[in-house]
Structure 1
Amino acid sequence: MLSNTEKELIVHIWEMLPVAEDIGSEALLRMFTAFPKTKTYFNHLDISPRSQHLRCHGKKIIQALAEGARNITTLPTTLAHLSRFHAYQLRIHPTNFKLFNYCILVTLACNMGDNFTPVAHAAIDKFLSAFSAVLAEKFR
């Protein structure tokens, strides 16, 4: 699915990102704005712009993505605990992962500028699809 060059590029992109909580919270806020039904999973949190809850959760997401990028060859094993957690405890529908992927791509494009080349876009899109597929694996 991903070439060795794409894997190296993905790791490089996640390592060079600015503050994780900024990217993650911006992507979450973008998702909540563009896809309001996704807010239902976050009723217990303050999801207003720049809120501590949003920043904290955004940071967790970006850190999980970075961990996945570093362990891309063992993604199912690396993300097994997150897959179970999202499926059995949180019960987040897999469609939401795809929606969030779109928001991450837009957020990265806005923050990376010229560094978000078409090649980088394609590699990150493939990675996010693989990441989401693993997270959705346990959902039934």
Structure 2
Amino acid sequence: KVCAKTIGKEALGRLLWTYPWTQRYFSSFGNLNSAEAVFHNEAVAAHGEKVVTSIGEAIKHMDDIKGYYAQLSKYHSETLHVDPCNFKRFGGCLSISLARQFHEEYTPELHAAYEHLFDAIADA
């Protein structure tokens, strides 16, 4: 089972540290100037958990993923002006975090299924 808090914290932390320009969307999170600061930041952990929980819920709406994310997509696009490429980057970071946690259980087939899911979410 995926622990949204653990995986979300690691994946969002990885995104913020690997792609530092994404930090501009999280200025309210405080100090993100070092790997230690990013990976021990409670706001990063909370938001990462929220995102991973949302992805878990999205799986239940695969028949209308665009509808499920319509309001959130509008907010990210029109209010925050988030570059859609960053959602795909987050998906890559999340995939790495899942592989680190699940090792052999994170098979190439499961990886491909998650990539398909992340692409659908990024396009929503």
TM-score by length of 2: 0.90
3-state SS in 1 of match to 2:123:
helix
Show structure 2 runs of 5+ residues with no match: 33-37
Give the one of 73, 80, 90 matched to 1:90: 80
% identical aligned pairs: 29
Show the counterpart of 1:37: 21
Show the counterpart of 1:75: 65
Q: Which amino acid aligns with 1:130?
A: A
Partner Cα distance (1:74, 1:26) in 2: 28
Partner Cα distance (1:70, 1:82) in 2: 17
Q: Which amino acid aligns with 1:90?
A: L
Partner Cα distance (1:100, 1:42) in 2: 14
Give the one of 91, 99, 110 matched to 1:109: 99
Partner Cα distance (1:91, 1:21) in 2: 26
Q: Equivalent residues in 2 for 1:1-140 (5 A)?
A: 16-17=1-2, 19-46=3-30, 47=32, 48-134=38-124
1:31-90: CA deviation from partner (whole Å, max 9, x where unpaired): 112111111111111352232201110111011101111111111111111111111111
**How many pairs align?**
118
Show structure 1 runs of 5+ residues with no match: 1-15, 135-140
Alpha-carbon offset, residue 112 of structure 1: 1.2
3-state SS in 2 of match to 1:71:
helix
TM-score by length of 1: 0.80
Partner Cα distance (2:39, 2:66) in 1: 32
Alpha-carbon offset, residue 133 of structure 1: 0.5
Partner Cα distance (2:39, 2:23) in 1: 13
